[in-house]
């Protein structure tokens, strides 16, 4: 297949794993048994990924509590009363808050790659959280003896170590989750916050060679949790010119659920850089209906009218379950949608003779 296709990241966890997590947190299950349940979920996820025909797979983030907070596990200098993010249906998610310095990761994503490699020989992709998202854990009131500037210096180095560890473990691609990009425009229409986020993420990317950056990508979407979004009302036109200033080789974009995809594609055509590949979303993860491969094909052919085929890839709009308790999409449905994307991408490649 000459049009690359990749998933974004998370797959709904098996019910058995979710039950085990509840039992463990209630003190009724041993850590050893929970780890066995994690292992069973990971093994099954990789096997089912392979069965979809995906040329590049992931671990489905089965052992992360969420895509955003995995580095904060095992830390003693955070509390659970940070920034609150409100979704369109009214539900909220709350980030932790840092209470003291220095800031260090408790878990690095390279460990997920290392474990997943036990169960597959296919190329593995790993999602990591952005420095800009983690910058939100620093409290507005500051921390005595630990300035925001020092925190950001530490954060950049920890994010670099997180990405570098994935590459060193053999990750095919590393995807930086940047869902807060569109949200930042909603929170600050002046776009000053967005510019700060772009600059911070570029500080991270500048630590990598041009060749390494071609293996690093950035994912943008308006959020996707319990079939709801946090910033879908923000026009992509307010984000994309800045997004394309990021020094990464790949950009993964939610597009299938956009009301006016051609408007977005026209903006991409205007701002895409020669060294960037755009993985357009062709699967709406918030819609329970499984797309027909022909629909996926047609979405790709429309994108090819705006994006050079040698810079085009396909993906899903978002992860299917970015937080472990999000069961709004069934596990079988997620894999059926991935299979439709793989087949539809192949159909489009034949039409485009590539």
> In this model, does residue 18 exceed pLDDT 80?
yes
Residue 289 buriedness (CB in 10 A; 0-12 / 13-18 / 19+): exposed
Walk me through the domains of the chain, giving residue ranges and CATH numbers: 15-351 (3.20.20.210)
Q: Give the separation between CA 252 and CA 221, rounded to whole angstroms.
A: 9
pLDDT score recorded for residue 190: 97
pLDDT score recorded for residue 56: 97
For 87-111, b where at least 16 C-beta lie within 10 A, e where not — what string? beeeeebebbbbeebebebebbbbe
Crossing angle between the packed helical segments 192-205 and 148-168, to the nearest 10 degrees: 50
> In this model, does residue 275 exceed pLDDT 60?
yes
Average pLDDT over residues 300-318: 98
In the three-class reduction of DSSP (H, G, I as helix; E, B as strand; rest coil), residue 47 is classed as helix
CA distances from 52 to 111, 292, 343 (A): 25, 14, 9
Q: Give the separation between CA 2 and CA 64, rounded to whole angstroms.
A: 32
pLDDT score recorded for residue 218: 98
**Mean pLDDT value across the chain:** 96
Return the structure tokens found at 101. 């310095």
Q: Give the separation between CA 336 and CA 342, rounded to whole angstroms.
A: 10
pLDDT score recorded for residue 1: 53
Crossing angle between the packed helical segments 180-187 and 192-205, to the nearest 10 degrees: 150
Q: Give the separation between CA 148 and CA 154, rounded to whole angstroms.
A: 10
Q: Bridge-partner residues for 217, per DSSP? A: 175, 250
Model confidence pLDDT, tens digit, residues 66-78: 999 999 999 999 9
Q: pTM (2 decimals)?
A: 0.96
| Residue ranges of E strands in 161-242 | 173-177, 216-220
Model confidence pLDDT, tens digit, residues 166-215: 999 999 999 999 999 999 999 999 999 999 999 999 999 999 999 999 99
Average pLDDT over residues 28-37: 96
Contact 162, 105 (CB under 8 A): yes
Model confidence pLDDT, tens digit, residues 140-170: 999 999 999 999 999 999 999 999 999 999 9
Residue position matching structure tokens 């983030």: 61
> In this model, does residue 354 exceed pLDDT 90?
no
Q: Bridge-partner residues for 225, per DSSP? A: 228
Residue position matching structure tokens 């819609």: 287
Contact 296, 350 (CB under 8 A): no
As a whole number of Å, the end-to-end CA separation of the chain is 8
pLDDT score recorded for residue 260: 96
Q: Give the separation between CA 147 and CA 111, rounded to whole angstroms.
A: 30
Q: Give the separation between CA 124 and CA 149, rounded to whole angstroms.
A: 35
């Amino acid at each position: 297949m000459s049009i690359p296709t990749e998933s974004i990241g998370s797959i709904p966890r098996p019910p058995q794993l979710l039950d085990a997590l509840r039992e463990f947190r209630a003190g009724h299950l041993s850590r050893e048994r929970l780890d066995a349940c994690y292992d069973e979920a990971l093994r099954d996820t990789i096997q089912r990924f392979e069965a979809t025909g995906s040329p590049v797979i992931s671990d489905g983030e089965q052992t992360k509590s969420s895509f955003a907070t995995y580095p904060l596990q095992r830390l003693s200098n955070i509390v659970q009363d940070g920034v609150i993010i409100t979704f369109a249906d009214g539900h909220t998610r709350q980030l932790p808050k840092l209470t003291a310095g220095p800031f260090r990761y408790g878990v690095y994503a390279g460990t997920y790659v290392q474990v997943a490699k036990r169960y597959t020989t296919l190329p593995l992709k790993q999602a990591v959280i952005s420095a800009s998202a983690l910058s939100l854990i620093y409290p507005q009131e500051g921390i005595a003896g630990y300035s925001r500037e020092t925190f950001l210096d530490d954060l950049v180095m920890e994010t670099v170590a997180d990405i570098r560890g994935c590459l060193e473990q053999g990750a095919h691609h590393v995807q930086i989750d940047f869902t807060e990009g569109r949200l930042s425009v909603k929170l600050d229409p002046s776009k000053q916050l967005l510019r700060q986020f772009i600059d911070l993420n570029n500080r991270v990317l500048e630590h990598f060679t041009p060749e390494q950056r071609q293996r690093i990508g950035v994912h943008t979407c308006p959020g996707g949790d319990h079939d709801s979004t946090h910033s879908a009302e923000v026009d992509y036109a307010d984000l994309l010119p800045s997004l394309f200033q990021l020094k990464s080789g790949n950009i993964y974009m939610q597009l299938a659920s956009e009301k006016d995809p051609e408007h977005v594609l026209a903006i991409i055509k205007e701002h895409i850089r020669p060294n960037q590949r755009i993985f357009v979303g062709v699967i709406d993860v918030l819609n329970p209906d499984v797309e027909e491969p022909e629909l996926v094909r047609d979405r790709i052919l429309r994108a090819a009218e705006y994006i050079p085929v040698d810079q085009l890839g396909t993906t899903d709009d978002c992860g299917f379950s970015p937080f472990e308790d999000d069961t709004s999409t069934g596990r079988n449905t997620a894999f059926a949608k991935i299979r439709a994307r793989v087949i539809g991408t192949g159909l489009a490649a034949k039409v485009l003779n590539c």
